[in-house]
Amino acid sequence: MKCEVCGNDYDKAFTVLVGDEQHTFDSFECAIHALAPTCGHCGCHVVGHGFEQDGIVYCCAHCAERTGAAGPTERLDHAEREAKICDSAVTEASRESFSASDLPACR
């Protein structure tokens, strides 16, 4: 399948469904380039949850504050995010693959 961003014809391409629209990409990099929102202040692609105020997405609280956004809300609470990440199977697999001195920083 052909990537809609770079045109690469790749046997491991994948599709992403957004609403009723289907998109085909050969890498997460191309998917991010095409689909991730951009920060309302610095213009970078917002890959994480980001912050939002009045329908404008920001990559971080700093950028939201720089535009004068009053009380931007984070898309996911820090504690909730940390709990989800730390409890994930991926984290458990990481713990098993690192020596005791190299464990990830999760509590």
Which amino acid, 3?
A: C
In this structure, what token pair is assigned to residue 46?
A: 């917002």
Q: Give yes or no for a contact between 6 and 32, defined as CB atoms under 8 angstroms apart.
A: no
* pLDDT for residue 49: 83
8 A C-beta contact, residue 25 and residue 44: no
* pLDDT at position 102 over 80: no
Regarding pTM above 0.95, the answer is: no
Alpha helices in the chain, H assignment, sequence order: 28-35, 61-66, 78-86, 89-97
| Tokens (6 digits) for 26 | 């050969």
Percent of the chain with pLDDT over 90: 47
Give CA torsion, residues 41, 56, 54, 61, to 10 deg: -50
